[in-house]
Each structure stands twice: as structure tokens, then as C-alpha cells.
Structure 1
Amino acid sequence: MSLHRENVTWQREDGSWSIGFYTFTAPWEYGGDPDDYDYEWDVEYDLNSFWYLSTGHPTSDAAEDAYTRIHPNPGSTTILYWEHPDNREEIARLDAIAAEHRTRKAEFAAITAQWK
């Protein structure tokens, strides 16, 4: 089974691989009839935020496997190699988004720990 979700897989300077799936919203979440929308395709992406992130993989395939172990196959990914100098600015941007994602996740974990 597959479920298209926009994502990117990138290689860091140290050779490790990361995969990030962009945060998305669906129009039916803000009113309207869900039956009027396609769950897979009628979504809007925030290309500056991840809802799923996995880092530190030895290969791009391993990064994708981390996602598909618990989620449907997204069908495709954009792959950015460190060895291509034209990718380095975008890789730096993705690393910054990843750092922000980890910070938000840690903050959420600290808040929910207080609930116990």
C-alpha cells in the first residue's frame, strides 16, 4: 500500500542520511465535508516544517526504511547528495528544519512528562 506524502531524503556532510516528511494540513480539517476531498492528494504542505523526521542512517534506503516500517510507502522522495555542491544550501536549510523539529519534539515531551 502507498500513500503519497511530500518528503525529502538528504545526505549530510558526515555521510549520514536523513529523511523528513513535510507537515501538511487538509482542507476538510477546517470545515467542509470530508467526502468532498481526497485524503491522499487534497493536502497543503508546509515546506518549512517536518511532521516526521529520522536521521543518522547509513544509506538513503535505510532512511526510507525507517519511515516505511511504520507508515505506508510514500511512493517517491527527493534525494539530495552532499557531493553535489549545488545541494549544500538546501541541505543546510533542511538541517535547520530538522533541528527545529527535534527542539519542538523535546519541548512536547517535557510538557507531557509533567502530566504523568
Structure 2
Amino acid sequence: MKIARRVFLGVLALTLAACTTAAGRRQAAATPRTTVSVDNQALLDMTIYVISGSQRIRLGTARGLNTTELTIPPSVVFGVSTLRFQADPIGGSRTPVSETISVSEGDEVVLRIPPG
């Protein structure tokens, strides 16, 4: 009797865990991805950051002479957010920062880095 009860409780726990995981996936799929498409026309690879207020978050690396799509974390974009982007050249000294851009959930921001 005790073994049957333990088995039942184990199956119940696994079922609840599976339901929670499926609900989490549905919620994540419902949140639109906000992205930045970096058109890096420079030779150097760039580390791309998003700046929100005084917080700077690394998004990833944009290879030289390539276009790279990076995801902006949902914790940064809520409602209409004002963001800036910083491109830090790997092996370089200049770190240009974009103007302030208004971004909403699901937007795709295009960031062009000119050559030289």
C-alpha cells in the first residue's frame, strides 16, 4: 500500500512538472523577440552593448564585414523603452554610441557601422 502511494505521488509530481514546463514554453513563445540587426561594414569585429539608463548589457559580437542579428533581453524592453547601442571594436580604441532610440517589444532595430 505504501509503495503504491509513493508511486502515485511520484507520477503526480512528474505530471505537474511537465505541465509547468509546457506552460512556460507557451508563455515564452507569446513574448515577441526584440532584435538588433548589426550591419558591420568595418573590418574589425565589434562587441555590441545595449545601454538602458545607466545599465550596459552585452548583446554579443558582430563580425567584421557581416550582418549579425542579436536579441535584446526582454528585461530591457518593456512598453516603449529608450535605448542606446555601443559598438566596442575588438583591437580598437574608439567606442561609438548611437543616439537614443525608442524601442517596443517585437521591434527590429537596424544598426549600421560604417567602414574605417
Same fold at TM > 0.5: no
More helix by share: 1
TM-score tier, shorter chain, comes to: under 0.3
More strand by share: 2
Look at both structures and tell me which one has the larger radius of gyration over its CA atoms: 2
- Bigger relative contact order (CA 8 A; separation at least 6): 1
Q: TM-score of the superposition, structure 1-length normalised?
A: 0.28
